[in-house]
Structure 1
Amino acid sequence: MTASESLDPVPVIDKDGVRLTVEEAVATVTLTLPAKRNAQSPALWRALAEAGASLPGSVRVVVVRGEGISFSAGLDRQAFTSEGFEGEPSFPDLARLGDADLDATIAGYQSAFTWLRQNDVLSVAAVQGHAIGAGFQLALACDLRVAADDAQFAMRETSLGIVPDLAGTHPLVNLVGYARALEICVTGRFVHADEAERIGLANLTVPRAELDEAVSDLTSALLAAPREAVIETKALLRGASTRTYADQRAAERAAQARRLRDLAGLGD
Protein backbone atom coordinates (compact mmCIF):
# COMPACT_ATOMS: atom_id res chain seq x y z
CA MET A 1 0.00 0.00 0.00
CA THR A 2 1.31 3.42 -0.95
CA ALA A 3 1.30 6.42 1.31
CA SER A 4 -1.46 7.97 -0.80
CA GLU A 5 -3.81 5.03 -0.26
CA SER A 6 -6.21 5.43 2.65
CA LEU A 7 -6.83 2.75 5.21
CA ASP A 8 -10.33 1.67 6.14
CA PRO A 9 -11.39 3.32 9.39
CA VAL A 10 -10.90 1.26 12.53
CA PRO A 11 -14.30 0.22 13.95
CA VAL A 12 -15.34 1.87 17.19
CA ILE A 13 -17.74 -1.05 17.70
CA ASP A 14 -17.87 -4.35 15.84
CA LYS A 15 -20.03 -6.93 17.58
CA ASP A 16 -23.40 -8.67 17.60
CA GLY A 17 -24.13 -7.74 14.01
CA VAL A 18 -23.28 -4.04 14.30
CA ARG A 19 -20.18 -2.17 13.16
CA LEU A 20 -19.64 1.53 13.88
CA THR A 21 -16.92 3.43 12.05
CA VAL A 22 -16.17 7.14 12.21
CA GLU A 23 -14.45 9.36 9.67
CA GLU A 24 -14.30 12.92 10.93
CA ALA A 25 -17.90 14.27 10.89
CA VAL A 26 -19.51 11.12 9.44
CA ALA A 27 -20.30 7.92 11.32
CA THR A 28 -21.42 4.76 9.55
CA VAL A 29 -23.48 2.13 11.34
CA THR A 30 -23.48 -1.11 9.38
CA LEU A 31 -25.57 -4.21 10.07
CA THR A 32 -23.15 -7.08 9.45
CA LEU A 33 -25.28 -10.21 9.24
CA PRO A 34 -25.78 -10.56 5.47
CA ALA A 35 -26.28 -14.34 5.61
CA LYS A 36 -29.38 -13.67 7.74
CA ARG A 37 -30.40 -10.60 5.74
CA ASN A 38 -29.41 -8.55 8.78
CA ALA A 39 -32.18 -10.00 10.94
CA GLN A 40 -32.34 -8.26 14.30
CA SER A 41 -32.14 -9.51 17.88
CA PRO A 42 -31.92 -8.00 21.37
CA ALA A 43 -28.13 -8.35 21.23
CA LEU A 44 -28.06 -6.37 17.98
CA TRP A 45 -30.30 -3.73 19.54
CA ARG A 46 -27.94 -3.37 22.49
CA ALA A 47 -25.05 -2.93 20.06
CA LEU A 48 -27.01 -0.27 18.16
CA ALA A 49 -27.71 1.59 21.41
CA GLU A 50 -24.03 1.33 22.30
CA ALA A 51 -23.14 2.76 18.89
CA GLY A 52 -25.30 5.78 19.62
CA ALA A 53 -23.71 6.26 23.03
CA SER A 54 -20.22 5.95 21.51
CA LEU A 55 -20.50 8.70 18.90
CA PRO A 56 -17.71 11.28 19.19
CA GLY A 57 -18.89 14.85 19.52
CA SER A 58 -17.42 15.62 16.10
CA VAL A 59 -20.04 13.48 14.30
CA ARG A 60 -22.69 15.42 12.42
CA VAL A 61 -24.12 12.78 10.08
CA VAL A 62 -24.84 9.10 10.78
CA VAL A 63 -25.35 6.74 7.84
CA VAL A 64 -27.14 3.45 8.60
CA ARG A 65 -26.72 0.63 6.11
CA GLY A 66 -26.83 -3.15 5.84
CA GLU A 67 -24.33 -5.52 4.29
CA GLY A 68 -25.50 -7.86 1.55
CA ILE A 69 -28.71 -7.88 -0.45
CA SER A 70 -31.03 -6.50 2.24
CA PHE A 71 -31.04 -3.56 4.62
CA SER A 72 -32.74 -5.68 7.30
CA ALA A 73 -35.36 -8.40 6.98
CA GLY A 74 -36.68 -7.61 10.46
CA LEU A 75 -36.76 -9.49 13.73
CA ASP A 76 -34.95 -12.81 13.68
CA ARG A 77 -37.65 -15.50 13.57
CA GLN A 78 -35.92 -17.26 16.44
CA ALA A 79 -37.63 -14.68 18.64
CA PHE A 80 -40.96 -16.33 17.88
CA THR A 81 -39.89 -19.76 19.15
CA SER A 82 -40.49 -20.89 22.72
CA GLU A 83 -36.73 -20.91 23.34
CA GLY A 84 -36.07 -17.44 21.91
CA PHE A 85 -32.44 -16.35 21.94
CA GLU A 86 -29.92 -17.86 24.33
CA GLY A 87 -29.69 -15.70 27.42
CA GLU A 88 -32.64 -13.53 26.35
CA PRO A 89 -36.29 -13.64 27.43
CA SER A 90 -38.54 -15.39 24.91
CA PHE A 91 -41.90 -13.89 23.94
CA PRO A 92 -43.65 -16.13 26.51
CA ASP A 93 -41.09 -14.98 29.10
CA LEU A 94 -41.82 -11.35 28.26
CA ALA A 95 -45.55 -11.96 28.62
CA ARG A 96 -45.02 -13.20 32.18
CA LEU A 97 -43.14 -10.07 33.28
CA GLY A 98 -44.86 -7.52 35.48
CA ASP A 99 -46.06 -4.31 33.83
CA ALA A 100 -43.11 -2.20 34.95
CA ASP A 101 -40.50 -4.78 33.97
CA LEU A 102 -42.10 -5.41 30.58
CA ASP A 103 -42.33 -1.69 29.90
CA ALA A 104 -38.67 -1.22 30.86
CA THR A 105 -37.58 -4.13 28.66
CA ILE A 106 -39.34 -2.76 25.58
CA ALA A 107 -38.03 0.74 26.34
CA GLY A 108 -34.53 -0.75 26.31
CA TYR A 109 -35.17 -2.23 22.88
CA GLN A 110 -36.47 1.14 21.65
CA SER A 111 -33.29 2.91 22.75
CA ALA A 112 -31.49 1.21 19.86
CA PHE A 113 -33.57 3.37 17.52
CA THR A 114 -34.38 6.63 19.29
CA TRP A 115 -30.85 8.07 19.39
CA LEU A 116 -30.95 8.47 15.61
CA ARG A 117 -33.52 11.26 16.08
CA GLN A 118 -31.46 13.42 18.45
CA ASN A 119 -31.05 17.01 17.30
CA ASP A 120 -27.26 17.15 17.15
CA VAL A 121 -26.91 14.60 14.34
CA LEU A 122 -28.62 14.01 11.00
CA SER A 123 -29.25 10.36 10.20
CA VAL A 124 -29.58 8.77 6.77
CA ALA A 125 -30.74 5.22 6.02
CA ALA A 126 -29.28 3.66 2.88
CA VAL A 127 -31.91 1.05 2.07
CA GLN A 128 -31.56 -1.81 -0.39
CA GLY A 129 -33.56 -4.99 -0.70
CA HIS A 130 -35.85 -5.76 2.22
CA ALA A 131 -36.64 -3.39 5.07
CA ILE A 132 -39.24 -5.38 6.97
CA GLY A 133 -40.65 -4.93 10.47
CA ALA A 134 -37.78 -3.94 12.71
CA GLY A 135 -35.80 -3.17 9.55
CA PHE A 136 -38.53 -0.80 8.38
CA GLN A 137 -38.57 0.81 11.81
CA LEU A 138 -34.79 1.26 11.73
CA ALA A 139 -35.13 3.09 8.42
CA LEU A 140 -37.96 5.17 9.91
CA ALA A 141 -35.77 6.03 12.91
CA CYS A 142 -33.48 7.94 10.57
CA ASP A 143 -34.20 11.51 9.52
CA LEU A 144 -33.80 10.72 5.81
CA ARG A 145 -34.01 7.62 3.64
CA VAL A 146 -32.30 6.94 0.32
CA ALA A 147 -33.76 3.83 -1.31
CA ALA A 148 -32.31 1.63 -4.00
CA ASP A 149 -34.77 0.75 -6.73
CA ASP A 150 -34.99 -2.79 -5.35
CA ALA A 151 -36.03 -1.62 -1.87
CA GLN A 152 -39.19 -3.08 -0.35
CA PHE A 153 -40.65 -1.79 2.92
CA ALA A 154 -43.19 -3.75 4.96
CA MET A 155 -44.56 -3.62 8.50
CA ARG A 156 -45.44 -7.22 9.32
CA GLU A 157 -45.92 -7.03 13.09
CA THR A 158 -49.71 -6.72 13.06
CA SER A 159 -49.98 -9.74 10.76
CA LEU A 160 -48.06 -11.71 13.40
CA GLY A 161 -50.40 -10.67 16.20
CA ILE A 162 -48.15 -8.00 17.70
CA VAL A 163 -47.64 -4.28 17.03
CA PRO A 164 -44.76 -2.13 15.77
CA ASP A 165 -43.11 -1.09 19.03
CA LEU A 166 -39.63 0.09 18.05
CA ALA A 167 -40.53 3.77 17.78
CA GLY A 168 -41.60 3.48 14.13
CA THR A 169 -45.28 4.41 14.30
CA HIS A 170 -44.75 8.11 15.05
CA PRO A 171 -42.46 8.85 12.08
CA LEU A 172 -44.55 6.64 9.79
CA VAL A 173 -47.72 8.64 10.50
CA ASN A 174 -45.81 11.92 10.17
CA LEU A 175 -44.45 10.85 6.79
CA VAL A 176 -47.48 9.31 5.09
CA GLY A 177 -50.50 10.28 7.22
CA TYR A 178 -52.73 8.23 9.49
CA ALA A 179 -54.86 6.46 6.88
CA ARG A 180 -51.98 5.26 4.73
CA ALA A 181 -49.92 4.30 7.79
CA LEU A 182 -52.84 2.24 9.08
CA GLU A 183 -53.27 0.50 5.74
CA ILE A 184 -49.53 -0.28 5.46
CA CYS A 185 -49.36 -1.69 9.00
CA VAL A 186 -52.59 -3.71 9.01
CA THR A 187 -52.19 -5.25 5.55
CA GLY A 188 -48.46 -5.88 5.99
CA ARG A 189 -48.02 -5.32 2.26
CA PHE A 190 -44.78 -4.37 0.53
CA VAL A 191 -44.21 -0.74 -0.37
CA HIS A 192 -41.81 -0.77 -3.31
CA ALA A 193 -39.21 1.90 -3.89
CA ASP A 194 -41.13 3.91 -6.47
CA GLU A 195 -44.20 4.13 -4.22
CA ALA A 196 -42.01 4.86 -1.19
CA GLU A 197 -40.63 7.94 -2.89
CA ARG A 198 -44.06 9.00 -4.16
CA ILE A 199 -45.72 8.89 -0.72
CA GLY A 200 -42.80 10.40 1.19
CA LEU A 201 -41.24 7.34 2.81
CA ALA A 202 -38.08 7.76 0.75
CA ASN A 203 -36.45 11.09 0.04
CA LEU A 204 -34.76 9.70 -3.04
CA THR A 205 -34.78 6.50 -5.10
CA VAL A 206 -31.79 5.53 -7.20
CA PRO A 207 -30.57 2.45 -9.11
CA ARG A 208 -29.01 -0.09 -6.75
CA ALA A 209 -25.55 0.45 -8.21
CA GLU A 210 -25.77 4.17 -7.42
CA LEU A 211 -26.92 3.89 -3.79
CA ASP A 212 -23.53 4.48 -2.17
CA GLU A 213 -22.77 7.44 -4.40
CA ALA A 214 -26.19 8.99 -3.75
CA VAL A 215 -25.77 8.64 0.02
CA SER A 216 -22.28 10.13 -0.19
CA ASP A 217 -23.59 13.11 -2.18
CA LEU A 218 -26.42 13.66 0.30
CA THR A 219 -24.02 13.43 3.23
CA SER A 220 -21.79 16.10 1.69
CA ALA A 221 -24.79 18.37 1.17
CA LEU A 222 -25.92 17.88 4.78
CA LEU A 223 -22.49 18.90 6.03
CA ALA A 224 -22.43 22.13 4.03
CA ALA A 225 -24.48 24.27 6.42
CA PRO A 226 -23.10 25.45 9.80
CA ARG A 227 -23.69 22.85 12.48
CA GLU A 228 -25.51 25.02 15.01
CA ALA A 229 -27.92 26.28 12.36
CA VAL A 230 -28.67 22.69 11.37
CA ILE A 231 -29.32 21.69 14.99
CA GLU A 232 -31.70 24.61 15.52
CA THR A 233 -33.52 23.91 12.24
CA LYS A 234 -33.93 20.21 13.02
CA ALA A 235 -35.31 21.04 16.46
CA LEU A 236 -37.78 23.52 14.94
CA LEU A 237 -39.04 21.05 12.35
CA ARG A 238 -39.27 18.10 14.74
CA GLY A 239 -41.40 20.08 17.16
CA ALA A 240 -43.61 21.77 14.57
CA SER A 241 -46.31 19.09 14.52
CA THR A 242 -46.91 19.35 18.28
CA ARG A 243 -46.94 23.15 18.50
CA THR A 244 -49.68 25.58 17.63
CA TYR A 245 -49.01 28.03 14.82
CA ALA A 246 -48.39 30.77 17.36
CA ASP A 247 -46.08 28.56 19.44
CA GLN A 248 -44.12 27.57 16.36
CA ARG A 249 -43.62 31.22 15.41
CA ALA A 250 -42.39 31.89 18.94
CA ALA A 251 -39.99 28.95 18.69
CA GLU A 252 -38.69 30.37 15.40
CA ARG A 253 -38.10 33.75 16.99
CA ALA A 254 -36.24 32.24 19.94
CA ALA A 255 -34.07 30.06 17.70
CA GLN A 256 -33.25 32.99 15.43
CA ALA A 257 -32.33 35.16 18.41
CA ARG A 258 -29.87 32.49 19.54
CA ARG A 259 -28.37 32.25 16.06
CA LEU A 260 -28.02 36.02 15.61
CA ARG A 261 -26.35 36.42 18.99
CA ASP A 262 -24.05 33.51 18.33
CA LEU A 263 -23.02 34.89 14.92
CA ALA A 264 -22.39 38.28 16.52
CA GLY A 265 -20.23 36.67 19.19
CA LEU A 266 -22.74 37.45 21.91
CA GLY A 267 -23.84 33.89 22.69
CA ASP A 268 -23.25 32.12 26.00
Structure 2
Amino acid sequence: MTFNRPEVLNALNRQLVDEALDAVGRLPRDTRVLVLRGAGDKAFAAGADIAEMQQRTLWTDLDFGPRRELARRLEDAPFPTVAALNGFALGGGFELALACHLRIASDSAKVGLPETRLGIMPGNGGTARLARLVGQARALQFILLSEQIDAGEAERLGLVNWVVPAKQFDERVDALVERLVQLPPVATRAVIDCVTRGGGMTLDQAIENEHRWFQICLASPDKQEGVAAFLEKRRPEFSGV
Protein backbone atom coordinates (compact mmCIF):
# COMPACT_ATOMS: atom_id res chain seq x y z
CA MET A 1 0.00 0.00 0.00
CA THR A 2 1.47 3.32 -1.09
CA PHE A 3 0.82 6.78 0.35
CA ASN A 4 0.58 8.66 -2.92
CA ARG A 5 0.99 12.40 -2.34
CA PRO A 6 4.65 12.86 -3.29
CA GLU A 7 4.16 16.56 -4.07
CA VAL A 8 3.66 17.18 -0.32
CA LEU A 9 6.00 14.41 0.91
CA ASN A 10 2.98 12.10 1.34
CA ALA A 11 1.51 14.22 4.13
CA LEU A 12 -1.45 12.50 5.74
CA ASN A 13 -4.69 14.34 5.07
CA ARG A 14 -8.17 13.02 5.83
CA GLN A 15 -8.74 11.65 2.33
CA LEU A 16 -5.46 9.71 2.30
CA VAL A 17 -6.14 8.20 5.72
CA ASP A 18 -9.70 7.23 4.76
CA GLU A 19 -8.45 5.56 1.58
CA ALA A 20 -5.76 3.67 3.48
CA LEU A 21 -8.24 2.53 6.12
CA ASP A 22 -10.63 1.34 3.41
CA ALA A 23 -7.83 -0.53 1.62
CA VAL A 24 -6.78 -2.32 4.82
CA GLY A 25 -10.40 -3.23 5.51
CA ARG A 26 -10.74 -4.84 2.07
CA LEU A 27 -7.65 -7.05 2.32
CA PRO A 28 -8.47 -10.73 1.68
CA ARG A 29 -8.45 -13.10 4.63
CA ASP A 30 -5.48 -15.01 3.24
CA THR A 31 -3.21 -11.94 3.17
CA ARG A 32 0.31 -12.97 4.18
CA VAL A 33 2.02 -9.57 4.52
CA LEU A 34 1.24 -5.87 4.10
CA VAL A 35 3.93 -3.35 3.17
CA LEU A 36 3.35 0.39 3.63
CA ARG A 37 5.50 2.80 1.69
CA GLY A 38 5.51 6.34 0.35
CA ALA A 39 5.42 7.37 -3.29
CA GLY A 40 8.63 8.87 -4.62
CA ASP A 41 12.06 8.67 -3.06
CA LYS A 42 11.92 11.49 -0.52
CA ALA A 43 9.39 10.46 2.10
CA PHE A 44 7.42 7.63 3.64
CA ALA A 45 5.03 10.18 5.12
CA ALA A 46 6.10 13.56 6.47
CA GLY A 47 3.37 13.79 9.08
CA ALA A 48 -0.06 15.34 9.04
CA ASP A 49 -1.15 17.85 6.42
CA ILE A 50 -0.34 21.16 8.15
CA ALA A 51 -2.83 23.14 6.08
CA GLU A 52 -5.58 20.78 7.18
CA MET A 53 -4.35 20.80 10.77
CA GLN A 54 -4.67 24.59 10.92
CA GLN A 55 -8.43 24.13 11.09
CA ARG A 56 -8.35 21.47 13.80
CA THR A 57 -9.27 22.27 17.39
CA LEU A 58 -10.59 20.22 20.27
CA TRP A 59 -14.07 20.71 18.84
CA THR A 60 -13.24 19.71 15.26
CA ASP A 61 -11.11 16.67 16.06
CA LEU A 62 -13.70 14.19 14.78
CA ASP A 63 -11.51 13.18 11.84
CA PHE A 64 -8.70 11.87 14.06
CA GLY A 65 -10.60 8.66 14.79
CA PRO A 66 -9.73 7.08 11.41
CA ARG A 67 -6.02 7.72 12.03
CA ARG A 68 -6.17 5.87 15.33
CA GLU A 69 -8.21 3.08 13.76
CA LEU A 70 -5.67 2.69 10.94
CA ALA A 71 -2.82 2.40 13.45
CA ARG A 72 -4.75 -0.16 15.50
CA ARG A 73 -5.50 -2.28 12.45
CA LEU A 74 -1.84 -2.27 11.44
CA GLU A 75 -0.79 -3.28 14.94
CA ASP A 76 -3.52 -5.90 15.40
CA ALA A 77 -3.19 -7.49 11.95
CA PRO A 78 -2.77 -11.29 12.09
CA PHE A 79 -0.07 -11.07 9.40
CA PRO A 80 3.17 -9.05 9.39
CA THR A 81 2.81 -5.36 8.63
CA VAL A 82 5.98 -3.71 7.35
CA ALA A 83 6.77 0.00 7.13
CA ALA A 84 9.22 0.58 4.27
CA LEU A 85 10.83 3.92 5.13
CA ASN A 86 12.28 5.31 1.93
CA GLY A 87 12.79 8.86 3.23
CA PHE A 88 11.29 11.14 5.87
CA ALA A 89 8.98 9.44 8.37
CA LEU A 90 7.84 12.24 10.63
CA GLY A 91 4.98 12.96 13.00
CA GLY A 92 1.87 11.00 12.08
CA GLY A 93 3.82 9.15 9.40
CA PHE A 94 6.30 7.85 11.96
CA GLU A 95 3.44 6.99 14.31
CA LEU A 96 1.97 4.70 11.64
CA ALA A 97 5.40 3.17 11.11
CA LEU A 98 5.65 2.50 14.86
CA ALA A 99 2.29 0.72 14.71
CA CYS A 100 3.66 -1.73 12.13
CA HIS A 101 5.29 -4.94 13.28
CA LEU A 102 8.52 -4.44 11.32
CA ARG A 103 10.37 -1.47 9.85
CA ILE A 104 12.97 -1.44 7.08
CA ALA A 105 14.66 1.85 6.22
CA SER A 106 16.74 3.29 3.44
CA ASP A 107 20.06 4.67 4.67
CA SER A 108 18.76 8.09 3.60
CA ALA A 109 15.68 7.90 5.85
CA LYS A 110 15.10 10.19 8.82
CA VAL A 111 12.53 9.69 11.57
CA GLY A 112 11.10 11.96 14.22
CA LEU A 113 8.11 13.27 16.15
CA PRO A 114 8.42 17.06 15.75
CA GLU A 115 4.94 18.00 16.96
CA THR A 116 6.12 20.17 19.87
CA ARG A 117 7.50 22.65 17.32
CA LEU A 118 3.88 23.27 16.35
CA GLY A 119 2.72 23.69 19.92
CA ILE A 120 1.09 20.27 20.07
CA MET A 121 2.16 16.68 20.76
CA PRO A 122 1.94 13.27 19.06
CA GLY A 123 -1.71 12.26 18.92
CA ASN A 124 -1.78 8.80 17.40
CA GLY A 125 0.11 6.58 19.81
CA GLY A 126 3.55 8.10 19.35
CA THR A 127 4.24 8.70 23.04
CA ALA A 128 3.11 5.23 24.11
CA ARG A 129 4.68 3.17 21.32
CA LEU A 130 7.96 5.07 21.30
CA ALA A 131 8.39 4.75 25.09
CA ARG A 132 7.80 1.00 24.85
CA LEU A 133 10.58 0.69 22.29
CA VAL A 134 13.27 3.00 23.67
CA GLY A 135 12.28 3.68 27.30
CA GLN A 136 10.74 6.72 28.96
CA ALA A 137 13.83 8.93 29.25
CA ARG A 138 14.85 8.55 25.61
CA ALA A 139 11.26 8.97 24.43
CA LEU A 140 10.91 12.21 26.41
CA GLN A 141 14.15 13.55 24.94
CA PHE A 142 13.14 12.53 21.44
CA ILE A 143 9.66 14.10 21.60
CA LEU A 144 10.25 17.18 23.77
CA LEU A 145 13.24 18.30 21.71
CA SER A 146 11.62 17.33 18.38
CA GLU A 147 14.70 15.34 17.46
CA GLN A 148 15.10 13.86 14.00
CA ILE A 149 17.53 10.98 13.72
CA ASP A 150 18.98 9.17 10.75
CA ALA A 151 18.35 5.54 9.87
CA GLY A 152 21.57 4.29 11.45
CA GLU A 153 20.74 5.81 14.83
CA ALA A 154 17.16 4.55 14.54
CA GLU A 155 18.48 1.03 14.01
CA ARG A 156 20.83 1.35 16.98
CA LEU A 157 17.91 2.36 19.20
CA GLY A 158 15.73 -0.50 17.95
CA LEU A 159 13.29 1.76 16.08
CA VAL A 160 13.95 0.05 12.76
CA ASN A 161 14.89 -3.55 12.09
CA TRP A 162 17.04 -3.11 8.99
CA VAL A 163 18.87 -0.28 7.23
CA VAL A 164 19.73 -0.87 3.58
CA PRO A 165 21.45 1.20 0.87
CA ALA A 166 19.05 3.51 -0.94
CA LYS A 167 20.00 2.04 -4.32
CA GLN A 168 19.06 -1.44 -3.10
CA PHE A 169 15.95 -0.42 -1.19
CA ASP A 170 13.27 -1.87 -3.48
CA GLU A 171 15.24 -5.07 -3.97
CA ARG A 172 15.73 -5.57 -0.24
CA VAL A 173 12.07 -4.84 0.54
CA ASP A 174 11.03 -7.42 -2.05
CA ALA A 175 13.43 -9.96 -0.55
CA LEU A 176 11.97 -9.38 2.91
CA VAL A 177 8.44 -9.84 1.59
CA GLU A 178 9.48 -13.08 -0.08
CA ARG A 179 10.71 -14.42 3.25
CA LEU A 180 7.59 -13.33 5.11
CA VAL A 181 5.09 -14.83 2.66
CA GLN A 182 6.73 -18.24 3.11
CA LEU A 183 6.07 -18.30 6.86
CA PRO A 184 3.38 -20.60 8.30
CA PRO A 185 0.29 -18.38 8.71
CA VAL A 186 -1.00 -19.95 11.94
CA ALA A 187 2.36 -19.77 13.73
CA THR A 188 2.92 -16.26 12.36
CA ARG A 189 -0.39 -15.08 13.76
CA ALA A 190 0.42 -16.76 17.07
CA VAL A 191 3.82 -15.11 17.40
CA ILE A 192 2.45 -11.66 16.51
CA ASP A 193 -0.35 -11.98 19.05
CA CYS A 194 1.92 -13.22 21.83
CA VAL A 195 4.60 -10.59 21.30
CA THR A 196 2.36 -7.57 20.69
CA ARG A 197 -0.19 -8.33 23.41
CA GLY A 198 2.15 -9.97 25.88
CA GLY A 199 3.65 -6.67 27.00
CA GLY A 200 0.28 -5.62 28.40
CA MET A 201 -0.19 -8.85 30.37
CA THR A 202 1.27 -10.21 33.56
CA LEU A 203 3.97 -12.81 33.01
CA ASP A 204 1.59 -15.61 33.96
CA GLN A 205 -1.06 -14.32 31.55
CA ALA A 206 1.45 -13.97 28.73
CA ILE A 207 2.75 -17.50 29.25
CA GLU A 208 -0.80 -18.84 29.34
CA ASN A 209 -1.58 -17.04 26.08
CA GLU A 210 1.57 -18.49 24.55
CA HIS A 211 0.59 -21.99 25.70
CA ARG A 212 -2.88 -21.58 24.17
CA TRP A 213 -1.41 -20.57 20.82
CA PHE A 214 1.15 -23.38 21.01
CA GLN A 215 -1.69 -25.89 21.27
CA ILE A 216 -3.39 -24.31 18.26
CA CYS A 217 -0.16 -24.56 16.26
CA LEU A 218 0.28 -28.22 17.22
CA ALA A 219 -3.18 -29.01 15.85
CA SER A 220 -2.72 -27.07 12.61
CA PRO A 221 -2.06 -28.51 9.13
CA ASP A 222 0.95 -26.20 8.97
CA LYS A 223 2.58 -28.20 11.77
CA GLN A 224 1.99 -31.43 9.85
CA GLU A 225 3.45 -29.89 6.70
CA GLY A 226 6.43 -28.40 8.53
CA VAL A 227 7.39 -31.68 10.19
CA ALA A 228 6.88 -33.67 6.97
CA ALA A 229 8.99 -31.22 4.96
CA PHE A 230 11.77 -31.36 7.55
CA LEU A 231 11.86 -35.17 7.49
CA GLU A 232 11.67 -35.25 3.69
CA LYS A 233 14.37 -32.58 3.37
CA ARG A 234 12.27 -30.23 1.23
CA ARG A 235 10.90 -26.71 1.52
CA PRO A 236 7.52 -26.61 3.30
CA GLU A 237 4.45 -25.24 1.58
CA PHE A 238 2.29 -23.77 4.32
CA SER A 239 -1.40 -23.17 3.64
CA GLY A 240 -2.61 -21.74 6.94
CA VAL A 241 -5.76 -23.86 6.89
TM range (shorter): 0.7 to 0.9
Q: What is the identity, as a one-letter code, of the residue corresponding to 1:40? A: L
TM-fit CA distance, 1:222: 1.5
**Most deviating of 256-265 and 72-81:** 256-265
TM-fit CA distance, 1:171: 2.3
For 1:247, the equivalent position in structure 2 comes to: 205
Aligned to 2:130, the other structure's residue is in SS state helix
Aligned to 2:24, the other structure's residue is in SS state helix
TM-fit CA distance, 1:168: 2.8
46, 59, 65: which one aligns with 1:96: 59
TM-fit CA distance, 1:231: 0.3
How big is each residue's C-alpha offset from its partner over 1:71-92, in whole Å with a ceiling of 9 and x where there is no partner? 11111221243xxxxxxxx21x
Distance 1:201 1:32, change over 3 A: same
Do residues 175 (structure 1) and 133 (structure 2) align?
Answer: yes
Decide whether the 8 Å contact of 2:186 with 2:220 is kept in 1. no
For 1:64, the equivalent position in structure 2 comes to: 36
Distance 1:35 1:106, change over 3 A: closer
For 1:216, the equivalent position in structure 2 comes to: 174
Counting only pairs closer than 5 Å after superposition, residues 101-250 of structure 1 correspond to structure 2 as 102=61, 105-250=63-208
Do residues 33 (structure 1) and 15 (structure 2) align?
Answer: no
Normalised TM-score (structure 1): 0.78
Question: In 2, distance between residues paired with 1:120 and 1:253?
Answer: 18
How big is each residue's C-alpha offset from its partner over 1:129-168, in whole Å with a ceiling of 9 and x where there is no partner? 2111111112112111101011111101122121211233
Question: In 2, distance between residues paired with 1:136 and 1:195?
Answer: 15
Decide whether the 8 Å contact of 1:124 with 1:142 is kept in 2. yes
Question: In 2, distance between residues paired with 1:54 and 1:167?
Answer: 24
Decide whether the 8 Å contact of 2:34 with 2:82 is kept in 1. yes
Do residues 78 (structure 1) and 86 (structure 2) align?
Answer: no
Aligned to 1:124, the other structure's residue is in SS state strand
Identity over the aligned pairs, expressed in percent? Answer: 33
TM-fit CA distance, 1:199: 0.4
Question: In 2, distance between residues paired with 1:238 and 1:80?
Answer: 31
Higher helix proportion, which one? 2
Question: In 2, distance between residues paired with 1:47 and 1:237?
Answer: 29
For 2:16, the equivalent position in structure 1 comes to: 44
Question: In 2, distance between residues paired with 1:243 and 1:112?
Answer: 23
Q: What is the identity, as a one-letter code, of the residue corresponding to 1:199? A: L
Gap regions ≥5 residues in structure 2 = 225-240
Decide whether the 8 Å contact of 2:86 with 2:105 is kept in 1. yes
Aligned to 1:153, the other structure's residue is in SS state strand
Decide whether the 8 Å contact of 1:124 with 1:144 is kept in 2. yes
Taking only aligned residues, the RMSD between alpha carbons, in angstroms, comes to: 1.9
How big is each residue's C-alpha offset from its partner over 1:10-42, in whole Å with a ceiling of 9 and x where there is no partner? xxxxxxxxxxxxxxxxxxx10111111111111
Gap regions ≥5 residues in structure 1 = 1-28, 82-89
Higher relative contact order (CA 8 A, sep 6+): 2
Question: In 2, distance between residues paired with 1:225 and 1:73?
Answer: 32
Aligned positions, number: 223
Decide whether the 8 Å contact of 1:114 with 1:141 is kept in 2. yes
Runs of 4+ in 1 over 4 A off after TM superposition: none
Decide whether the 8 Å contact of 2:79 with 2:185 is kept in 1. no
TM-fit CA distance, 1:50: 0.6
Normalised TM-score (structure 2): 0.86
**Most deviating of 58-67 and 116-125:** 116-125
Distance 1:43 1:260, change over 3 A: same
TM-fit CA distance, 1:184: 0.8
Aligned to 2:82, the other structure's residue is in SS state strand
